[in-house]
């Protein structure tokens, strides 16, 4: 099949669409989380923005998938992408361990450079989010220290 799709790219797109439709039908009929995981991973791989937009707010989306979805959405869907990063960051920092704190700092760094149509507005939004995060997590001293080391 790979030879056929390399010779006829329109078939590749058709197969991708069929796969996504099949997975969506499975989710809608059974609600299986595993199928949702496969759907999102396939949509990320195929860069199928409509599918990502349709399912990105589903509560079963994993924290690990959120940044990948946000990166694919890019500047064209900046508000959704920003929100997905916020969700990933908030969920990650709740784990209350050093590895989660370091991972949160990495996510914040990625969010800071997320493509945006208006760079200044994006930076202002990021700074407000960082300030809110600092305030809400002020009791997590180790996390605040990591933030200070990276962003001050």
Percent of the chain having pLDDT more than 70? 84
pLDDT at 3: 46
Question: Who wins on pLDDT, 33 or 70?
Answer: 70
How many residues belong to the chain? 152
- What average pLDDT is seen over the chain? 87
pLDDT at 31: 63
* Per-residue model confidence as pLDDT tens digits over 87-137: 999 999 999 899 999 999 999 999 999 999 999 999 999 999 999 999 999
**Reported confidence tier of residue 7, pLDDT bands at 50, 70, 90:** low
pLDDT at 14 over 70: no
* Per-residue model confidence as pLDDT tens digits over 73-100: 989 999 999 999 999 999 999 998 999 9
pLDDT at 2: 46
H-helix or E-strand spanning residue 52: helix 49-55
Integer Cα distance of 87 and 35 in angstroms: 21
Question: Who wins on pLDDT, 121 or 4?
Answer: 121
pLDDT at 33: 77
Q: How many CB atoms are located within 10 Å of the residue 35 CB?
A: 19
pLDDT at 152 over 60: yes
Question: In sequence order, which residues have a C-beta less than 8 Å from that of residue 120 and are 6 or more positions away?
Answer: none
H-helix or E-strand spanning residue 95: none
């Amino acid at each position: 099949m790979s030879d056929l799709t390399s010779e006829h790219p329109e078939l590749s797109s058709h197969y991708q669409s069929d796969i996504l439709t099949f997975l969506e039908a499975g989710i809608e009929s059974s609600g299986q989380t595993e199928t949702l995981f496969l759907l999102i991973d396939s949509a990320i791989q195929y860069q199928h923005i409509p599918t990502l937009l349709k399912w990105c707010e589903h509560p079963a989306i994993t924290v690990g998938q959120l940044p990948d979805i946000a990166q694919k959405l890019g500047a064209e869907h900046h508000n959704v992408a920003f929100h997905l990063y916020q969700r990933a960051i908030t969920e990650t920092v709740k784990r209350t361990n050093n590895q989660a704190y370091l991972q949160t700092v990495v996510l914040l760094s990625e969010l800071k450079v997320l493509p945006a149509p208006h760079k200044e507005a994006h930076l202002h939004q990021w700074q407000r989010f960082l300030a809110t995060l600092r305030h809400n997590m002020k009791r997590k001293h180790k996390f605040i220290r990591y933030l200070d080391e990276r962003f001050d």
